[in-house]
Chains A and B, each alone.
Chain A
Amino acid sequence: MGLLSRKATCNSHGQDSSYFLGWQEYEKNPYDEVLNPKGIIQMGLAENQLSFDLLESWLAKNPDVSAFKKDGNSIFRELALFQDYHGLPAFKKALVDFMAEIRGNKVTFDPNHIVLTAGSTSANETLMFCLADHGDAFLLPTPYYPGFDRDLKWRTGVEIVPIQCISSNNFQITESALQRAYQDAQTRNLTVKGVLLTNPSNPLGTTMTRNELNLLIDFISDKADMHLISDEIYSGTVFDSPAFVSVVEILKERNLLKDSDSDVWNRVHVVYSLSKDLGLPGFRVGAIYSQNDTVVSAATKMSSFGLVSSQTQYLLSAMLGDKNFAKNYISENKQRLKRRQKMLVSGLKKAGISCLKSNAGLFCWVDMRHLLQSNTFEAEMELWKKIVYDVRLNISPGSSCHCTEPGWFRLCFANMSEDTLDLAMKRLKAFVAESAGGNGRRKSIIGHSSGKKKSPTKWVFRLSSRDREQGDR
């Protein structure tokens, strides 16, 4: 009999992946403009640091919120005691209105169908607990956010079966890929409980097309117990056309909402969070939106394990409840993201590197296949290590996102200053130039042998000796 549980001793938390190794290196040698100009620049963190000043200036103008005052009276006591898992009504209302605003008010959300959770990390896990039994599976299009391996699988026992997407059609989901994934699951004797998509996509930075959304809705339509989860955590980061189309809009357009003949509305669920759009990952604000009453009821009870702090709900209810502010924030934030993305794209271009055309997200999906020694994942790892240790940029290798083709990397652009991004691009350009001219004679700054793949156990040892929250998406 083991002393601890299987969950405690297995590896399903996924934190031994290369994705997190880059973090570790960054931690040891983080770039600082003044203190450590030769350090590693963090480009593996999908954070939105571009619009804090907007939030700060709102706070400066609204002192009552900070003093826990409502209509002149202190509500500190009520807040401190408020642990109702249904959430602060004012906050839920503000949140659904914000979600509607992001979707151009083409759809509205009912606050009674929102469940608040401790970040979308918790929202996604909770949905798994509600929709699937241990051993069931969900189909996910690749490439996908590495954290899903932990969030969806670890404590739930749910399996992920990938829907393999490829570069030749810009990684869009095709009918054949979907069917193949479904067959794959059948072969493995797994009961598929649904599909989970991230729209806009992480790591692609693209919004899902109407075609793809319709394809997925059709797919679950005729399979009685199948669900569609749409993680729309990046919905507020769509800075360019095509416009964001939420799965909820498609349901509305196709007349598949509640009271229609079909029961599809009962099996479509949206996940949201304020970590990316508002840049507040520390506040742990996630949400599940579902028209399925049983799901809302079960998920609400489960949210007991990770409620949103009442003082945070209160702060955000005031902030997002200020409709003018919310509207302006959304628009200004997008402008800044657009500008920053253009900077990254043109910087990459100067280095002879292209990326997937993107219109959303806090990152680009970058094509470095031409820099690989061979079309293999080993070569991708080699290239990645060079970029982390020699170029000193922490970027995320496609393999950590379960991409089927080697050579793609996710580079984040919204978590640093313009100058830092500029420097990162210069370093990359220099590296590419040297690689082309220097025949790979570049010496490593940190003496890691290239060409020899590290054994997993070594990685595990190094990682577990200095755990770090990877928290990022």
Chain B
Amino acid sequence: MGLGNDQSRRLLSRMAVNDKHGENSPYFDGWKAYDRDPFHPTNNLHGVIQMGLAENQLCFDLIQEWMKNHPEASICTPEGLNQFRDVAIFQDYHGLPKFRKGVANFMSKVRGGRVKFDEDRVVMSGGATGANEVIMFCLANPGDAFLIPTPYYPAYARDLCWRTGVQIIPVHTDSSNNFQITREALETAYNKAQQDNINVKGLLITNPSNPLGTTLDRDTMKSLVSFINEKNIHLVCDEIYAATVFNKPSFVSVSEIMQEVDFCNKDLIHIVYSLSKDMGFPGFRVGIVYSYNDSVVSCARKMSSFGLVSSQTQHMLAFMLLDDDFVNKFLIESSRRLAKRHSLFTEGLEKMGVTCLPSNAGLFCWMNLRSLLEEQTVEGEMKLWRVIVNEVKLNISPGSSFSCSKAGWFRVCFANMDDETVKVALRRIKAFVGKEAEKAKNVIKRRQRSINGLRIISSSSSSKRFDESWAISPHSTHIMSPHSPIPHSPLVKVT
């Protein structure tokens, strides 16, 4: 680099040199381990299995089949080439009308047709990452705050706060009631903010929840709507996992509540959406801001200039999402496969005495490993985590990275691999849990024998921050972003 940090600080903006992008979190050490030694069913059976990436890889065959049968959806095929120039030139930030119609149509079907969406309120963004940032820019000034129930998606720190200057105020939830959001918790967080002279602009929820994998019930949704309405603050609902609901209870979107109640000020309600999880297309960068507030729609649309969806992608998705037959079949099949995968994983875990929070959605489980902690603290959790990453060789995500208030919970993704890999992961967990059980028995025995107790062998410090060298793996000359997959995909080699 050639320049010390000090010089960078004057030369560049504060934003460029602070670490509010959140990527210095120890959370990314897991990526380091995975990137250095990625699991492969034939080439590297003992590698680290990636269970930290919430991707939906279960239904590509359905989409590929559709694409094969609809060459006109691509502007590069002989069938679609005649559309090439019109699409290539199209940069209107309103988006291709058919694309917006397709998105509104899809969003409606995901909610069982119980809600109708207005295509004129569909605004594009650079993935949900872009959508969340845009909504903050529209609703809040620097220094304002949004309440967010814990545990929550780690990258909210970057998406909602980094460039916007907005701050997050966590609303604590507890395992004692399955991490449900209570009115008390909301009031506590809100009141504390008032006392601290912090201007709360709204509440942001992820429903279905990441990392919990649960959906909010109707009563809770109504209660949240009534809370924000009372305080006259916004409600942003990140419904990015809406179509990953695979079991009852069925999903209750805020849009349904809007149809049912009449006391709510619609200007306070906004939905963030994306196709990255429901359809498994994170690479296509399809984010959506859907607001019931006209000014927000207008402002977000202007801001979408900074992250429009490629017209090539809009064009393709317009065809796909307006194919009712395909969408209906896809949604049913996707749910079915997710349910099956979820069962395979959770039943396997149950057999070895490992429990997860009961869940009906998402691409992951919220696993309870509290009994394996040496201490019920963040340090204890991080210590266990390092063992799981480095010895059990599973990259899972520690609850502390989600700001969970109780130590010992881990998010484990299950939809980004095949069945065989799931079974390998389960075998490893079984072996580990068995070993830990043995260890625990021995510890108790020794404690009973010795006066001074154990000598605790501490591993490398749990507060270690990762340094830049993590990114340079012996396998690739390519430095991966924290959200990227497949280090050995054919795409990362330059031919």
Residues of A participating in the B interface, judged by any CB pair closer than 8 Å: 1, 3-9, 13, 15, 47, 49, 52, 55-56, 59-60, 63, 65-68, 70-71, 73-86, 88-90, 93, 111, 118-119, 121-122, 125, 129-134, 136, 150-151, 155, 224-225, 263, 266-267, 275, 279-284, 292-295, 298, 300-302, 304-312, 314-315, 464, 467-469, 471
Contacts and interface: CB of A to CB of B under 8 A. Distances in A.
A83 B484 contact: yes
Contacts of A304: 126-127, 129-130, 158-159, 481, 483
Nearest to A65: B76
A431 B476 CA distance: 65
A70 B492 CA distance: 12
A469 B305 CA distance: 8
Contact of B298 (A67, A73, A467): A467
B78 interface: yes
A79 B491 contact: yes
A468 B16 contact: no
A132 B144 CA distance: 21
B284 A131 contact: no
Contacts of B21: 298, 301-302
29 contacts: A3-B232, A4-B139, A4-B295, A5-B144, A7-B137, A76-B63, A83-B127, A86-B478, A90-B495, A121-B306, A122-B306, A134-B142, A267-B11, A279-B88, A281-B91, A282-B87, A293-B1, A294-B12, A304-B130, A305-B159, A305-B163, A306-B285, A308-B285, A309-B312, A310-B285, A311-B283, A467-B298, A467-B301, A471-B93
B380 to A, nearest CB: 31
Contacts of B94: 467-469
B141 A5 contact: yes
Contacts of B74: 66
Contacts of A294: 1, 3, 8, 12, 16-17
Nearest to A158: B13
Contact of B305 (A129, A133, A150): A150
A80 B281 contact: yes
Given A7-B138, A88-B491, A467-B301, A298 B12 contact: yes
Contacts of B481: 83-86, 300, 304
A414 to B, nearest CB: 12
Contact of B489 (A8, A78, A308, A309): A78
Contacts of B478: 86, 89
Interface string B12-56: 111111000101000000000000000000000000000000010
B493 interface: yes
B474 interface: no
B381 interface: no
Contacts of A224: 10-11
B13 A77 contact: no
A297 to B, nearest CB: 8
A74 B306 CA distance: 31
Contacts of B479: 86
A130 B16 contact: yes
B432 to A, nearest CB: 28
Contact of B76 (A9, A59, A293): A59
B440 interface: no
A310 B489 CA distance: 13
Contact of A282 (B91, B137, B138, B276): B91
A119 B285 CA distance: 14
A225 B139 CA distance: 33
Nearest to B18: A298
A127 to B, nearest CB: 10
Contacts of B71: 66
Contact of A5 (B137, B313, B494): B137
Given A8-B137, A86-B478, A304-B158, 20 more contacts: A4-B293, A8-B296, A59-B84, A75-B490, A76-B67, A80-B282, A81-B55, A82-B491, A84-B485, A86-B481, A89-B492, A89-B494, A121-B305, A122-B306, A267-B11, A275-B91, A281-B88, A292-B12, A293-B1, A469-B91
Contact of B16 (A68, A93, A129): A129
Contacts of A266: 2-3, 11
Interface string B457-491: 00000000000000000000011110111100111
Contact of B491 (A55, A78, A125): A78
Main SS of the interface on chain A? Answer: helix
A114 to B, nearest CB: 13
Contacts of B67: 68, 76
B309 interface: yes
Interface in B121-136: 126-127, 129-130, 133
Contact of A52 (B12, B88, B91): B88
B90 interface: yes
A360 B149 CA distance: 55
Contact of A93 (B137, B267, B305, B494): B494
A347 B87 CA distance: 31
A93 B41 CA distance: 31
B140 interface: yes
Given A77-B60, A81-B283, A85-B483, A155 B137 contact: yes
B84 A55 contact: yes
B421 interface: no
Interface centre among A59, A65, A315 (most CB of B within 10 A): A59
Given A52-B85, A129-B13, A312-B312, A4 B138 contact: yes
B90 A282 contact: yes
B404 to A, nearest CB: 24
B91 A118 contact: no
Given A78-B491, A311-B284, A298 B16 contact: yes
A305 B130 contact: yes
B307 interface: yes
A59 B126 CA distance: 27
A304 B483 CA distance: 10
Contacts of A71: 490
B451 interface: no
Interface centre among B63, B85, B293 (most CB of A within 10 A): B85
A316 to B, nearest CB: 10
Contacts of A121: 305-306
Given A295-B12, A304-B158, A155 B303 contact: yes
A118 B8 contact: no
B340 interface: no
Contacts of A125: 306
Given A121-B305, A129-B16, A305-B130, A90 B310 contact: no
B77 interface: yes
B81 interface: yes
Contacts of A298: 12, 15-17, 21
Contacts of A66: 71, 74, 76-77, 80
B452 interface: no
A2 to B, nearest CB: 8
B283 A310 contact: yes
B439 interface: no
Contacts of B299: 4, 7-8, 13
A5 B138 contact: yes
A121 B309 CA distance: 13
B230 interface: no
Contacts of B130: 304-306
A31 to B, nearest CB: 16
Nearest to B71: A66
B64 interface: yes
Nearest to B284: A309
Interface in B66-82: 67, 71, 74, 76-78, 80-81
A158 to B, nearest CB: 9
Interface in B271-321: 276, 280-285, 293, 295-296, 298-299, 301-303, 305-313, 316
Nearest to A278: B88
Contacts of B313: 309, 311-312
Contact of A308 (B16, B141, B310, B490): B310
A275 B305 CA distance: 14
Contacts of A131: 12-13, 16
